[in-house]
Structure 1
């Protein structure tokens, strides 16, 4: 079965096609009808979390021994792509769950994994990734939040901002400076001294809450340290290598969804006594959109495959470049394709009912979070130039 509207020149095995067909059907039937309402309500869609959890998509790429489905990164990217195709906010339910859980999967002790991953894999608990601060976004090493060792606890003080799932998460992977450098801790939402600040009012992905976080003398058990002191930078970079392909898949899905709407519209819309799809100017726009989407899909699936190689061999020097290329190109494509989709629909494109204006608003953030595209270009250049 070929998913309608998707070219899929990237050859998928029968196993991947089966995953694609399953999530496509679920997204079209259960998530698509909720997309506009989720955007308008600007509330975390707990019903979508329940649906995705029931079908095993929340813990899709978490290890089987901790309650996950044990699927690889390409499978997870396909899942994210199909959800994003109808609702970017709903895809955030899966994407941020993965992002918040990755530090535990990458560097957590066996005890931490067994304490937290089963509830995260089942969707019983929600995860978040807390790194960005008012004066430290792209410049991770400038973080000011600090954790001081005090016996069997760390005393955590500081502030975070722009944290996805802020306020709804039960478990936060929090980065802080320690005596030996940047470190990362698991912080439970019920920790005394932890407080959620204001929720941001945003242009897009409105169903994904974004909040400020405050930590005032929070006592964090020393056993909640992920890895060793000073390993936070390495864990963060390894996390981004694995999470950026999923953001790229999210952008890819948004682009494909906007293209779907635009293609259907131009086939049906008539002006001057003929379908506007017969006009060369329209055809050229469609050709560019389709080509950009397929190029992005190739980069996204390639980056996901590089993560899979990392899983099997333990290392892959090409992963960082592949992840950054996929994230950069797919998100730029999403912005271009959604903008063109709005243009193709004319005045209708500016109206909520036709969905593409929502997709355009949602697409913008993919060029910003998980490292801005300017940072991605810098990373790519450094890998080309041997790290200089």
Structure 2
């Protein structure tokens, strides 16, 4: 079902039309085979980069699309409605560009951003560790000074595109505190674990990374030593909006599948969509999807206007991912026994929705972020 969107310009409408055409031609026909076989879609991200979809919210000066975040997120939603793993990896790539784009020196931006935004270099985001997920201040992977550079030692975890990415936005502990580096995807002393055996999103690997004294040149430090948490938390507000958009696209796909089935299946002499009990269930699903979209669009418009949006980003991530979990579960219910089989995609949608309540900050963390905005400042 085509979503009736309110877009800020005709250019944005054309971009969404292009995205739908690419997603329908290149993503939808391939998703089932790759997800079932757990195989990586080689060349797909190169194609998305060539189409200009990997650098949309970044400046045209460096090869980006110069698009408002409101538009970029709706592109992610369209991708996710066809292939959630690809949309999530696209969001993570955008997140990995953020440190250089917002905190890098002019020389770093000119050196790396054009290839990053064009998709010539595909990025990963390496913040989490086995014992430091939501508590980013507890990182133990470290960077030790060695001449003009650094030696990286420790273990990172839960890296989307791990072992496949061209570079990683890497957060480690240095002498000045948590620091951010733009680390190459291949360097002596860096190895990756096998892909995690996940419930869903299996076409794009998630791995651990093992740093055994790997050397990074000093010019790969982004910002200053000790600025890493500021960079990471600033980036995560944008990343949470990316996941909210992906979750909304996934929920829309589940709703579309449920509505399509309900208009074909008959029971007691009528299409099941005409039975009030089921019709009301579909109505609740549609309301949840529309509400999710509204929350992330509102937060994105605040971001585009230069207004604070951290609370709204957490609200959007919370609302959209909880909605995706409920809508995908209800879609399985609409299809009944068929929904529980792999002959229909809704069982995959339900499995894919679960992780969205967990990464980019669990939904419990989102509630914590939101609740802290209620605290009054002492006089």
Q: Could you say which TM-score interval applies, normalised by the shorter chain?
A: over 0.9
1:137-156 equivalences in 2 (<5 Å): 137-156=133-152
Residue 384 (1) aligns with residue 370 (2):
no
How many angstroms apart in 2 are the aligned matches of 1:279 and 1:153? 68
Query: What is the SS of the residue equivalent to 1:235?
Result: helix
The range that moved more, 121-130 or 13-22, is 13-22
The separation in 2 between residues aligned to 1:184 and 1:288, in whole angstroms, is 43
Provide the C-alpha distance between the structure 2 equivalents of 1:53 and 1:139, rounded to a whole number of angstroms: 33
Q: Which of 310, 318, 322 matches 1:332?
A: 322
| Partners of 1:248 and 1:330 within 8 A in 2 | yes
Distance between the aligned counterparts of 2:334 and 2:43, measured in 1? 33
Which SS does the other structure have where 1:154 is aligned? strand
* Alignment TM-score, normalising by the size of structure 1: 0.94
Q: CA deviation at 1:92?
A: 2.5
Separation in 2 of the partners of 1:370 and 1:296?
Answer: 17
What's the counterpart of residue 261 of structure 1?
257
**Unmatched 5+ residue regions in structure 1?**
311-315
1:30-50, Cα deviation, whole Å (9 max, x unpaired): 211111012112223223213
Q: What's the CA shift for 1:16?
A: 2.8
Instruction: Output one character per residue of 1:308-353: Cα deviation in whole Å (capped at 9) or x when no partner.
Output: 122xxxxx33x10011000110000000000000100011111223
Q: Is the 8 A contact 1:49 1:93 kept in 2?
A: no
Q: Does 1:370 align with 2:360?
A: yes
Distance 1:167 1:210 in 2: 9
* 1:13 Cα deviation after fit: 3.9
Give the one of 6, 14, 27 matched to 2:23.
Answer: 27
Point out where structure 2 has 5 or more consecutive residues left out of the alignment.
none
Q: Distance in 2 between matches of 1:241 and 1:309?
A: 15
SS where residue 82 of structure 2 aligns?
A: coil
Q: Distance in 1 between matches of 2:335 and 2:42?
A: 32
**Is 2:94 aligned against 1:98?**
yes
Structure 2 length normalisation: TM-score?
A: 0.96
Matching of residue 43 in structure 1 with residue 39 in structure 2: yes
Match among 181, 187, 197 for residue 185 of structure 1: 181
- CA distance in 2 between partners of 1:123 and 1:223 (Å): 22
Deviations 1:32-89 (A, max 9, x none): 1111012112223223213212211012222212222222211110110001011101
**Kept after mapping to 1: 8 A contact 2:92/2:239:** no
Write the mapping of 1:1-388 to structure 2, written as runs, cut at 5 A: 4-8=1-5, 10=6, 12-310=8-306, 316-317=307-308, 319-386=309-376
Q: Which range moved further: 104-113 or 354-363?
A: 104-113
Q: Distance in 2 between matches of 1:11 and 1:289?
A: 23
**Contact (CA 8 Å) 1:101, 1:128: kept in 2 or not?**
no
Q: 1:111 to 1:36 in 2, by over 3 A?
A: same
Q: Structure 1 stretch 21-30 or stretch 272-281: which is displaced more?
A: 21-30
* Residue aligned with 1:268, SS: coil
Aligned-partner Cα distance in 2 for 1:233–1:49: 29
Per-residue CA distance 1:132-189 (angstroms, 9 max, x = gap): 0010000110000111122211111110011111010110111111111111111112
Question: Cα offset for 1:123?
Answer: 1.4
Contact map agreement 1:5 1:260 (CA 8 A) in 2: no
| Greater mean deviation of Cα atoms: 378-387 or 199-208 | 378-387
Once the two structures are TM-superposed, the CA of residue 242 in structure 1 deviates from its matched residue by 1.2
